[in-house]
Amino acid sequence: MIFDAARAAALELISPPFRAVFVKTLGLTVLALVALWFGLTSLVEWLALPWLQTLLPGMPSWAGWLGGIIAAIALAFGMALLIAPVTAVVAGLFLDDIAEVVERTDYPGDPTGRAMPALRSLVLSARFLGVVTLGNIVALLLLLVPGVNIASFFIVNGYLLGREFFEFAAMRFRGEDEARALRRHYAGTVFLAGLLIAAFLAVPLLNLLTPLFAAAMMVHLHKAISVREVARPPRG
């Protein structure tokens, strides 16, 4: 079920109906990352470098150049950690567009889900951003612990991305409480699907497509789980 959903989502990325959503999503993600890069770079040049020159007035010119390289490497590392929060925001903005393309293309006989109201979508996007940012801060701290650093990235992002993307997809057809209950009932399946999303997120450049892949995958997964729920005997 999970791999079928992942395969369908991967094929969806190159299908013609996805191109308009792809352009909007990728464009906004790249613009956000570029803006963050220039913003952080300007902040370092404005605050950190003058502070170092004041702290070490006799510092040779090559030391400032070396400090700039180190700062650039640190910023690049920080940007890598910011990809998940940025894609979280983009997913919140475009999930309904992505889900509708998948539903109309792959499930033409089924009714399409309902788009969330704009205000509700913004609230959920903000919550999504918060939990993913917090999760990546925890993952960053765990990088200092040998043996769990890489695993922490996949576990934290797998859980958070799986949870939030699945609930987004489920809430197109269900109330928030029902969507959350369904996710908890299939927590293992959703977590394993989240690990695939985290693996996708870990691949440079390809990770910019994470919102599209994750949203499409969770639409397929929710459809499969819904079919299973219908076929399952009522709980006693």
Give the pLDDT score at 79.
65
Is 105 domain-assigned? yes
Is 197 domain-assigned? yes
Q: Is the pLDDT of residue 65 over 60?
A: no
Is 234 domain-assigned? no
Is 235 domain-assigned? no
Is 180 domain-assigned? yes
CA gap 15, 142 in Å, rounded: 38
CA gap 227, 231 in Å, rounded: 6
Give the pLDDT score at 45.
65
Lowest mean pLDDT among 8-12, 55-59, 140-144, 146-150: 55-59
Give the pLDDT score at 15.
82
- Helices marked H in 57-207: 61-106, 118-142, 149-170, 176-185, 187-201
State how many domains the chain has.
Answer: 1
Is 236 domain-assigned? no
User: At 65, is the secondary structure helix, strand, or coil?
Assistant: helix
pLDDT digits 0-9 by tens, 81-127: 666 667 667 766 777 888 888 998 899 988 889 887 777 667 766 76
Q: Domain of residue 170: give its range.
A: 2-229
Is 21 domain-assigned? yes
Is 11 domain-assigned? yes
Give the pLDDT score at 193.
95
Q: Is the pLDDT of residue 225 over 80?
A: yes
| 47-68 average pLDDT score | 57
pLDDT digits 0-9 by tens, 27-53: 777 787 788 777 777 766 666 556 555
